[in-house]
A and B are shown apart, each in its own frame.
Chain A
């Protein structure tokens, strides 16, 4: 039973393989197709059915923050390969490729900005960089965002999108759970609020650490939010899964979220919270 079990996943490989025949701008839910500029203008939300396409970290930061206010921090932090990890390809090669394809140094971008004039600290994950997986570099960047928030007395807005811990860093990736939890505890002690926005998917090691410790937690519609994903639960337990297993909507019903907020309304929602906590 335990043999087949997958606890923390990476790169979202547990999900059924994406339909390769479909163009990335084709809505997987209703089949509508969009031009790049149409999708960007709609914040990567399908205008017909409301499906939320993945949104890259930099685009989200642009959307949330006042123009020109974002100052990136810890941009130089990069992953190392402490285990010389080699599966079908070397980890070092995967990292280089991810950086080349995404233009990001790691799966999280952090920095300071203002939202409607309110100072905030941001930590935004990007699923396109190795499935948003959390290794030492992501753990360090999130922790530094906590410290920077404490130093400036600014609330922390953290957007999560991650398949879990980055397996290629072995036990060190698991240690990013307690590491980020300890950073949040320092934030709590300093009475700095943390608002979590869970984007699709927020699973495994990220859900089992800082993502679950927000003072206020909202999620995007349809986001998968689960410690163990549906495929692994199905395989290990042979249980029949409910229709909306692990989705934001189910999580709201069971009391794990404060609200589901469509992308278009998130900025206003966060600004309202910033006003209340100011």
Chain B
């Protein structure tokens, strides 16, 4: 019996019991209470486990990265290197290409597949130079009315001395500001780890999507656990508390849609994962393409300005 079946079964028994008002003896009430508790535990367990499974799959070493998708669905790919000031950041890839017949600008974090590439690409953690490069290609997109596609997959922006000296916080802020100014359609998808400021820096988009097993969060589970539980080993508990999975993000209005993955996760079948992602991106672009640029920008700002829950 699957967890879902178990839950349905418990619910049925519970609603049956509550429909027996005349038999409200102590035993029945006790039974109802027991079932209620069991149901709550089951629900909690299911979702906590599911959340942690997402965390593991989002970081799976075989999960497709930005360049795996570019190879599979972007035609005429031309990578653009360098921020024209200081460096070329390998953790953030930018370029021009064609998606379903239209020219697009693509920005994406890139982790490495082997040890050497991982080091070269700083495990997908960009320096300010990466975000400056992203802003540079966004300007090209704006000038020539190309839509901007962002693929987000980073544990976070790089936390180092040089990154701080080169203005990490300011670069992340200005990259978001640039995205808030664009009058071209913008679509972002979290394809693995959506780690904090380093992720949202390229995800202030008209449509923000998340793959089924991706995570999007203000801090890594380990970081949250180290601060709030004072023990990085409590990462699982922390993840369950701040709920970085796609369904919770959708529920909170942070993302606009969830992109399905092949059964078992994107790492099982890169081709199928790419096919599913491509069709979600094309669909989102088609929805946006008839809207005038000023209106796109107005709606985009209104969407982000509406985020949050307060009294």
Residues of A within 8 A of B (CB): 1-11, 13-14, 77-80, 82-83, 85-88, 135-137, 139-140, 143, 165, 167, 169-179, 181-186, 203-205, 207-213, 225-228, 232-233, 236-237, 239, 241-242, 245-246, 250, 254-256
Interface of B is mostly: helix
Extra contacts, 9 of them, besides A165-B218, A226-B169 (Cβ < 8 A), are A7-B197, A8-B197, A87-B228, A88-B229, A175-B254, A178-B304, A182-B180, A227-B168, A239-B161
Category for how many chain B residues contact A: 35 or more
Residues in B189-234 with C-beta less than 8 Å from chain A: 195-198, 200-201, 203-204, 216-220, 222-224, 226-229, 232
* Complex contact A212–B169 (CB within 8 A): yes
| Given A4-B232, A6-B227, A239-B161, A181 contacting B177 (CB threshold 8 A) | yes
Specify the chain A residue showing the minimal Cβ separation from B298. A186
Q: Nearest-CB distance from A155 to chain B (Å)? A: 19
Identify the stretch in B73-81, B239-247, B272-280, B282-290 within 8 Å (CB) of chain A at 4 or more residues: B239-247
Specify the chain A residue showing the minimal Cβ separation from B241. A85
Q: Nearest-CB distance from A115 to chain B (Å)? A: 26
Specify the chain A residue showing the minimal Cβ separation from B195. A7
* Complex contact B309–A181 (CB within 8 A): no
* Complex contact A170–B220 (CB within 8 A): no
- By a CB distance below 8 angstroms, the chain A residues around B195 are 2, 7
Task: Answer whether residue B30 sits at the interface, using C-beta atoms and an 8 A cutoff.
Answer: no
Partner of A182, one of B159, B161, B244, B305: B305
| Given A10-B227, A143-B305, A237-B159, A77 contacting B204 (CB threshold 8 A) | no
* Complex contact A175–B159 (CB within 8 A): no
* Complex contact B308–A140 (CB within 8 A): yes
- By a CB distance below 8 angstroms, the chain A residues around B197 are 7-8, 174, 177, 204-205, 208, 227
* Complex contact A77–B311 (CB within 8 A): yes
| Bitwise interface map of B from 165 to 178 toward A, beta carbon under 8 Å scored 1, else 0 | 11111101110110
* Complex contact B224–A167 (CB within 8 A): yes
- By a CB distance below 8 angstroms, the chain B residues around A176 are 307-308
- By a CB distance below 8 angstroms, the chain A residues around B229 are 87-88
| Given A79-B311, A171-B217, A183 contacting B161 (CB threshold 8 A) | no
Q: Nearest-CB distance from B305 to chain A (Å)? A: 5
Specify the chain B residue showing the minimal Cβ separation from A87. B228
* Complex contact B310–A170 (CB within 8 A): no
* Complex contact A178–B204 (CB within 8 A): yes
- By a CB distance below 8 angstroms, the chain A residues around B305 are 143, 179, 182-183
- By a CB distance below 8 angstroms, the chain A residues around B160 are 228, 233, 236-237, 239
- By a CB distance below 8 angstroms, the chain A residues around B196 are 7-8, 165, 174, 205
A10, B238: Cα distance in complex, Å? 14
Q: Nearest-CB distance from A7 to chain B (Å)? A: 4
| Given A80-B311, A183-B305, A227-B157, A178 contacting B200 (CB threshold 8 A) | yes
* Complex contact A6–B223 (CB within 8 A): yes
A27, B170: Cα distance in complex, Å? 31
A3, B198: Cα distance in complex, Å? 15
| Given A172-B309, A174-B200, A228-B168, A2 contacting B161 (CB threshold 8 A) | no
Specify the chain B residue showing the minimal Cβ separation from A217. B170
A185, B159: Cα distance in complex, Å? 27
* Complex contact B123–A79 (CB within 8 A): no
- Of B218, B244, B309, B311, most A-chain CB atoms within 10 Å: B218
Task: Answer whether residue B164 sits at the interface, using C-beta atoms and an 8 A cutoff.
Answer: yes
* Complex contact A7–B223 (CB within 8 A): yes
* Complex contact A211–B173 (CB within 8 A): yes
| Given A3-B222, A213-B174, A80 contacting B309 (CB threshold 8 A) | yes
| Given A174-B217, A213-B173, A254 contacting B157 (CB threshold 8 A) | no
Task: Answer whether residue B301 sits at the interface, using C-beta atoms and an 8 A cutoff.
Answer: yes
Q: Nearest-CB distance from B248 to chain A (Å)? A: 8
Partner of A2, one of B156, B204, B307: B156
Task: Answer whether residue B90 sits at the interface, using C-beta atoms and an 8 A cutoff.
Answer: no
Partner of B310, one of A136, A183, A213: A136
- By a CB distance below 8 angstroms, the chain B residues around A171 are 216-218, 242-244, 248-249, 252, 254
Partner of A177, one of B176, B241, B248: B176
Partner of B164, one of A14, A86, A179, A246: A246
* Complex contact A78–B218 (CB within 8 A): no
- By a CB distance below 8 angstroms, the chain A residues around B179 are 178
Task: Answer whether residue B155 sits at the interface, using C-beta atoms and an 8 A cutoff.
Answer: yes
Q: Nearest-CB distance from B246 to chain A (Å)? A: 11
- By a CB distance below 8 angstroms, the chain B residues around A181 are 173, 176-177, 180, 204, 304
- By a CB distance below 8 angstroms, the chain B residues around A4 are 222-223, 226, 232
Specify the chain B residue showing the minimal Cβ separation from A175. B307
Task: Answer whether residue B181 sits at the interface, using C-beta atoms and an 8 A cutoff.
Answer: yes
Task: Answer whether residue B125 sits at the interface, using C-beta atoms and an 8 A cutoff.
Answer: yes
Partner of A88, one of B168, B228, B254: B228
In the complex, 5 of the A-B residue pairs with CB atoms within 8 angstroms, ordered by the A residue number, are: A5-B159, A7-B198, A7-B220, A87-B228, A207-B169
A175, B308: Cα distance in complex, Å? 7
Specify the chain B residue showing the minimal Cβ separation from A205. B197
Specify the chain A residue showing the minimal Cβ separation from B228. A87
* Complex contact A83–B243 (CB within 8 A): yes
| Given A170-B243, A208-B197, A209-B173, A175 contacting B228 (CB threshold 8 A) | no
